[in-house]
Amino acid sequence: MSAAPDASPRDPAPPQTPAATIPLAGVIGWPVAHSRSPRLHAHWLRRYGIAGHYVPLAVAPEHLGQVLHALPRAGFVGCNVTIPHKEAALALADIVTDRASLIGAANTLIFRPDGRIHADNTDGYGFIANLQQHAADWSASAGPAAVIGAGGAARAVVAALLECGVPELRIANRTRIRADQIRAEFGARVVVYDWAQTGNMLEGAATVVNSTSMGMEGTQPLRLPLDALSPEALVTDLVYTPLDTHFLRAARARGCRTVDGLGMLLHQAAPGFERWFGVKPEVDEALREAVLG
């Protein structure tokens, strides 16, 4: 496996397929029936009149390698990868972007004409693009960022915020060792807080991110003391089912601007679509409505 520098969404070029072949892409997960990615990509395929398909692929972990190497022979030009395959897909790839290597996971694969698998991670790109779209004056350099959680999504958020110039990144996780590992890998701008001190971590933070699954439908809401949270802070939640989480509502009650997590899903999908189908898609309200159904 070799590393490749991060590139624009147009690099590498979409694989060339015979004229009689309809390009295929999909999302691989276990399970995967809940994914909204097929609805998302179907909207773009219709909108741009592209003869292609994007399908859900339920693949058990023990079959991932075999499936990934078989898909190009079935007309697939690439795929998205979701839980629990993101780390394994990275290990199976032949070419890995710097950001995917840093995050330690891949969510976007491109099957190259030469047979090699190119792995990228666009989650951080999607996170930043969502904030920029819905809070146009937001700037990472405005002050410290506070990230709640230290899982795979958090790693993508941390990498993106540090790249954008956040002066200090505070992080807290129920299992502190995972937050300590992020600090060890990402450097001195990362400051780890004990979970019991998460509320204190919010003091003076300009950007606050819930990267945990707490607040998702079927789970307990994220409940934190928000006394230290500045009304000037921008607060976002990576959870998008429901769109308006308890955490976001509590932040708005403090006077904060909030951004829901759906836009991250939409924006992270755009680079893959462009690489696979050759069209740079637009993330707009029509897309949100199509995905929400």
Is 211 annotated in a binding site? The answer is no
48 is in an annotated binding site: no
pLDDT of residue 228: 98
Q: Is the pLDDT of residue 219 over 80?
A: yes
How confident is the model over 97-139, as pLDDT tens digits? 999 999 999 999 999 999 899 999 999 999 999 999 999 999 9
Helix axes 37-47, 262-277, angle to 10 degrees: 50
7 pLDDT more than 80: no
Rg of the chain over all Cα atoms, to the nearest angstrom: 19
Q: DSSP letter at 134? A: H
The per-residue pLDDT for 12 is: 52
Is pLDDT of 280 > 60? yes
Question: Residue 227 has what pLDDT?
Answer: 97
Set 85, 86, 99, 112: catalytic member:
86
- Using CA atoms, how far apart are residues 42 and 36, in angstroms rounded to an integer? 10
Q: Hey, what domains does the chain have and what are their CATH numbers? A: 24-121+268-282 (3.40.50.10860), 136-256 (3.40.50.720)
Catalytic annotation on 86?
Answer: yes
For the chain, give the percent of residues with pLDDT over 70. Answer: 93
Report in angstroms the alpha-carbon separations of 78 from 84, 109, 112. 18, 5, 8
| pLDDT tens profile 137-189 | 999 999 999 999 999 999 999 999 999 999 999 999 999 999 999 999 999 99
CB 45 within 8 A of CB 53: yes
Average pLDDT over residues 6-24: 57
- Position 8 scores a pLDDT of 43
Of residues 121, 267, 131, 265, the one with CA closest to residue 207: 131
- The annotation status of 50 as a binding-site residue, yes or no, is no
Of the ranges 18-32, 57-71, 162-176, 189-203, which one carries the lowest mean pLDDT score?
18-32
pLDDT digits (tens, 9 = 90+) for 60-89: 999 999 999 999 999 999 999 999 999 999
